[in-house]
Amino acid sequence: MAHAPVSSSLVCYPLRLGPGEEIKGTLIKFVEDNKLKAAFLLSAVGSVTKATLRMADSSTISTFQGPFEIVSLVGTLSHGGHLHVALSDAEGKMLGGHVIGDMEVYTTAEVVIGECSEAVFRREPDSQTGYDELVVTRKTN
Amino acid sequence: MAHAPVSSSLVCYPLRLGPGEEIKGTLIKFVEDNKLKAAFLLSAVGSVTKATLRMADSSTISTFQGPFEIVSLVGTLSHGGHLHVALSDAEGKMLGGHVIGDMEVYTTAEVVIGECSEAVFRREPDSQTGYDELVVTRKTN
Amino acid sequence: MAHAPVSSSLVCYPLRLGPGEEIKGTLIKFVEDNKLKAAFLLSAVGSVTKATLRMADSSTISTFQGPFEIVSLVGTLSHGGHLHVALSDAEGKMLGGHVIGDMEVYTTAEVVIGECSEAVFRREPDSQTGYDELVVTRKTN
């Protein structure tokens, strides 16, 4: 943690996505349209027909056919987004990974987005990981 | 997302449930007793002796005997409630699904309920899905 | 629920942990350094190289070698901490349990800590469970 801690109040945005809506794209568009600078997922419950996920080896990308229940959907949404999901199938078995996309709603997705009002999320290249990684700063007016 | 976004401040209610308490029923009763109109799960950690879940095929309902660790418990609580859970067993294996009930606490459940102070959750029939689905509106005084 | 409900406003602390940082120890130290009296995990996404977990039988402790994606990391952080995690592996398979430690960040961990500003978490022995269990009280000034 290279930076001093940023404390912030929190605003929430509850919303429902309906059948056929793609979850990752819809949430990122919501955050951009509403100019949320430090948004993340506070809560998500629902179901999807399929999902394209990247596995923990950082390379394998697979598309899984559902329907699946969403039992965990977590991560940050501003400045690109970084989401992980856990899905359960018709036998209760679970799979999980990094969300690439293709998460189309089956019946519903009830989501609450949180926004740290006094913070800003951005991503900067990190030579240690080779990815653009989250940097949190205090919002300046 | 048929409705305009509702932004809201957030109030939280941290609480602990003890051995034998049924989680879904206890949380919904808490929300009703405290007249929370837009409540959802912010956090939950604990263990249960059993759980009755509906699988992702929308029809199979099974009761699983634990003990299980709660590794994810998510969803909305007002106006009926919609909860999904992920449980891990004595070998670390996981199962998940839509919570019907029978989630009796084994040793403890540490829960934080969030309430969107300026929103109201209700459920209305959705002919696309056949379920009563979440509708979010701004609270009017 | 032996105590009257405590309602509280919420302050959030978004932060990023980098490669090699041990997640549980780092978060608990953050909470202690910042004197957060009722802190819990609002959100966590990232990856770890390994994890030592206690299983749901309350006795087996195993160390699992990753890399793993964090698909759920939940629990309370003040006064000792109580965390559960769900991890997914290179095939998308999942395992979960009670976090003992050894959760070293692989590439990143993006975390939002929540603090119930008007509450205090402490732990007291509970003869029913044999553990020190969470007690929530209203903060007094």
Domain harbouring B99, CATH code: 3.30.1330.80
Domain assignment of residue C2, yes or no: no
Domain assignment of residue B4, yes or no: no
What confidence tens digit (pLDDT) does each residue in A43-77 have? 999 999 999 999 999 999 999 999 999 999 999 99
Kindly state the percentage of chain C with pLDDT values over 70: 97
Domain assignment of residue C25, yes or no: yes
Inter-chain contact B16–C136, Cβ cutoff 8 Å? yes
CB < 8 Å to A108, chain B: 126, 129, 131, 133-134
Distance from CA of B113 to the nearest CA of C (A): 9
Kindly state the percentage of chain C with pLDDT values over 90: 94
| C141 has a pLDDT exceeding 90 | no
| B2 has a pLDDT exceeding 60 | no
CA distance A74 to A70: 11
pLDDT tier at A40, thresholds 50, 70, 90: very high
What confidence tens digit (pLDDT) does each residue in B96-124 have? 999 999 999 999 999 999 999 999 999 99
Q: What is residue B4's predicted lDDT score, i.e. its pLDDT?
A: 73
Domain assignment of residue A62, yes or no: yes
Domain limits for position A90: 10-138
Buried-state track C73-98, b at ≥16 Cβ within 10 A, e below 16: bbbbbbbebbbbbbbbbbebbbbbbb
Domain count of the fold of chain C: 1
| A115 has a pLDDT exceeding 90 | yes
Subunits close to A (at least 3 CB pairs below 8 A): B, C
pLDDT tier at B3, thresholds 50, 70, 90: low
| B80 has a pLDDT exceeding 90 | no
C90-104 mean pLDDT? 97
Of residues C26 and B1, more confidently modeled: C26
CB < 8 Å to B40, chain A: 14, 42-43, 110, 112
Using beta carbons and an 8 Å cutoff, which residues of A are at the interface with B?
9-19, 21, 26, 30, 34, 42-45, 47, 66-73, 86-94, 107-108, 110, 112, 114
Q: What is residue A1's predicted lDDT score, i.e. its pLDDT?
A: 54
Q: What is residue A3's predicted lDDT score, i.e. its pLDDT?
A: 58
Q: What is residue A80's predicted lDDT score, i.e. its pLDDT?
A: 87
What confidence tens digit (pLDDT) does each residue in A68-78 have? 999 999 999 99
Give yes or no for a contact between C109 and C44, defined as CB atoms under 8 angstroms apart: yes
pLDDT tier at B1, thresholds 50, 70, 90: low
Subunits close to C (at least 3 CB pairs below 8 A): A, B
CB < 8 Å to C3, chain B: 15
Contacts with C116 (C-beta within 8 Å, 6 or more apart), sequence order: B12, B14, B112, C6, C8, C9, C10, C38, C39, C40
| A2 has a pLDDT exceeding 70 | no
Q: What is residue A56's predicted lDDT score, i.e. its pLDDT?
A: 96
- Give the start-end residues of each E strand in B1-141: 8-17, 39-54, 61-76, 82-88, 94-101, 105-116, 119-125, 132-138
Chain B residue with minimum CA distance to C138: B14
| C60 has a pLDDT exceeding 80 | yes
Domain assignment of residue B63, yes or no: yes
Kindly state the percentage of chain A with pLDDT values over 90: 94
Distance from CA of C58 to the nearest CA of A (A): 22
Q: Residue B18 — left, alpha, or beta (φ > 0 → left; ψ -120 to 50 → alpha)?
A: beta
Q: How many CB pairs under 8 A join B and C?
A: 143
Q: What is residue C5's predicted lDDT score, i.e. its pLDDT?
A: 87
Domain assignment of residue C3, yes or no: no
| C97 has a pLDDT exceeding 90 | yes
Inter-chain contact C95–B90, Cβ cutoff 8 Å? no
CA distance B29 to C98: 28
Domain assignment of residue B5, yes or no: no
ipTM of the complex in this document: 0.96
A9-36 mean pLDDT? 97
Domain assignment of residue C1, yes or no: no
